[in-house]
Amino acid sequence: MKATAIVVIAVLALVASTAEGTQAFRPAAGAVVMTVPARVSGDPVAILERALRDDKRNVRLVTELAALYLERARKTREARYFNRAEVLIQPWLAAPTAPAALLNVQADILQNRHEFAAAREVLGHAVRAEPANAGSRLLRATVNIVQGRFDEARPDCLAVLALGESSAGTTCLAQVLGGTGRIAAAEKLLRAREGALDAWGLGVLADLATRRGNTDDAEGYLRKALTLEPANEAIRAALCDLLTERGAHAEALALLDHTNASYGLLVRKARVQSLLHDPALTRTREELLELESLSERRGDVPHAREQALLALYVERDSRRALAMARVNFETQRETIDIRLLAHAALASGNREALAELQQWLRATRFEDRRLGS
C-alpha cells in the first residue's frame, strides 16, 4: 500500500510541470490518492464540530474550534485550516459584541496574510472590549514587533506580564529590548529561562544570539526549537539560512527535503542548489515559476521578502532584489528583512537606500553585529 502511495504521488509529482496540471488519469482502485489524519476517537476538532452542529449559536464553541483550526494549520502545515477558521467566524464578526477571543482569531488570520494594519485595528477593538485579554495584547505586540514598531509593542508586552503570563510576556519583552539597543539584557532575560522556553522563545533567543555573533549558540537553539516543532517553517528557514551562510550547504539542503514545500523554503532550496551547482536547481526554479504564475493568475499580492531573496541569491539581480527588499521593508522589519535590505543595497551599490536603512537602525537602536551596527 505504501509503495502504491509512493508511486502515485511520485507519478503525480514527476508529471506535474505545468500550472494547468497533469494529464488526468484513472488510478487503480487500491491506489492511495492522499493521506489525511486518521479518524481518531477523541479528536478535539471532531468533538467540537459535532457539538457545534447541535449548538450553532454558541460563540464559545465557535471561538474554540476556530483557534483549534489555526493551531492545526500550523502543526500540519495544512494551510486550508485558515480558510476553515475564516469561514467559521465570518457570521460573528459583524456582531458588535464579538468577544475578544474571536477577534483574536480574526486578527491572527489577517496577520497571517500580512494584513498587519487590519490586524492591529481588529486587536484595538479587542483590547477595548476586554482589556484583560492577554492574548489580544500579545498578538498586537507581536504584529508591532514584526513591523519594527518596538516602542508601540512595549506597553503590550508589559501588560501581558502584568496579566500573569510571564513566559509569553518575557519573550515579548526580550524582542522589544533586543530591538531598542538592549540586546545583551534581552539575551540574559531569555537565557535565564532557557530550559522552559518554547519553540517561539528559542527562536527569539537564536535571533538575538545570531545578531551578537554567536552562531554556534544560535544553531543549538534553533535545532532544539525544531525538535519541539518540526512543522515550524520560520524556525526551519532560519536554521537553513544560518547553515547556508556558514557554508554547510549539504546540511541546509537536508533540512529542506519536503514535499509540498512552501514558496519560502523553495527559494532557500534554490539558493543552496545554486551554491552547490546542483542540476536539480532547474526543477526547483520551475516549481517556483509555477507557484508564481499561479499566484499571479489568482491576483494574489506577491511575497516581497521571498522575491527579494530569490532575486538576490539565485537570479543575482541586485536591482530587482533592492526593489523587492524595499517593498518588503514597508510592511515587515524582522531581522531577515533588515539584512535583506542591507545586502541588496550593498549589492546594487545604492548608497541612498543604505543611508536610509542606517538612519532607521540608529533611530530604533536595533543591533545586528553582522550589519556593523
Partner 1 sequence: MSALRLLAALLALIASTSAHAHATSTTYLVATETSERLAITWDLPVAELHWALDLDADGDGRILWAEIETHHVAIESLVLGQLAVAMQNVACPATLEDLLLTSHASEPYLSLAFRARCPVSGPLAIAAGLFLDASTSRRTLIDITTAAGHFTATLSSHEPLWLEPEVPSALATFIDFIGQGTWHVWIGYDHLAFLVLLLLPSVRRDSKVGEMSRDLLKIVTAFTLAHSITLALAATDTVRLPVQAVELTIAASIVVAAALNLCPAAGHWRLPLAFGFGLVHGFGFANALAEIGSQGTRLVPVLAGFNIGVELAQLSVVAVLLPALLWLRNSSFYAARLVPAASVAMMLAGAAWLAARA
Site for partner 1 in 150-189 (CB under 8 A): 165, 167-168
| Spatial distance between the Cα atoms of 30 and 283, rounded to a whole number of angstroms | 30
- Cβ count within 10 A of residue 360: 15
Helix (H) or strand (E) segment spanning residue 294 = helix 281-298
Please state the closest distance from residue 221 (CB atom) to partner 1, in A: 13
Nearer to partner 1, 187 or 229 (CB): 229
Please state the closest distance from residue 355 (CB atom) to partner 1, in A: 26
> Are 93 and 106 within 8 A, CB to CB?
yes
Q: How many CA atoms lie within 13 A of 174 on its CB side?
A: 27
Stretch in the footprint of partner 1 (CB under 8 A) among 23-31, 178-186, 269-277, 343-351:
23-31
Site map 35..74 versus partner 1, x via CB under 8 A: xxxxx---------------------------x--xx-xx
| Positions in 333-372 near partner 1 (CB under 8 A) | 334
Nearer to partner 1, 179 or 264 (CB): 264
Please state the closest distance from residue 195 (CB atom) to partner 1, in A: 17
Stretch in the footprint of partner 1 (CB under 8 A) among 13-21, 147-155, 340-348, 355-363:
13-21
Distance of CA 272 to the CA centre of its chain: 20
- 303 is a contact residue toward partner 1 (CB under 8 A): yes
Please state the closest distance from residue 168 (CB atom) to partner 1, in A: 5
* Positive or negative torsion for Cα 280, 285, 288, 293: negative
- Cβ count within 10 A of residue 91: 11
Contacting residue, 127, 206, 261, 322, with partner 1 by CB under 8 A = 261
End-to-end CA separation in angstroms for the chain: 56
Nearer to partner 1, 233 or 358 (CB): 233
Could you tell me the CA-to-CA distances from 42 to 106, 155, 174 in Å, in that order? 27, 40, 38
Site map 77..106 versus partner 1, x via CB under 8 A: xxxx-xxx-xx--x----------x--x--
Contacting residue, 51, 132, 196, 294, with partner 1 by CB under 8 A = 294
Could you tell me the CA-to-CA distances from 203 to 99, 219, 232, 291, 369 in Å, in that order? 31, 10, 10, 28, 18
Could you tell me the CA-to-CA distances from 33 to 17, 79, 353 in Å, in that order? 19, 19, 50
Site map 117..146 versus partner 1, x via CB under 8 A: -----------------xx--xx--xx--x
Nearer to partner 1, 30 or 372 (CB): 30
Please state the closest distance from residue 334 (CB atom) to partner 1, in A: 6
Question: Exposed, middle or buried: residue 94 (CB in 10 Å: 0-12, 13-18, 19+)?
Answer: exposed
- 199 is a contact residue toward partner 1 (CB under 8 A): yes
> Are 147 and 366 within 8 A, CB to CB?
no
- 325 is a contact residue toward partner 1 (CB under 8 A): no
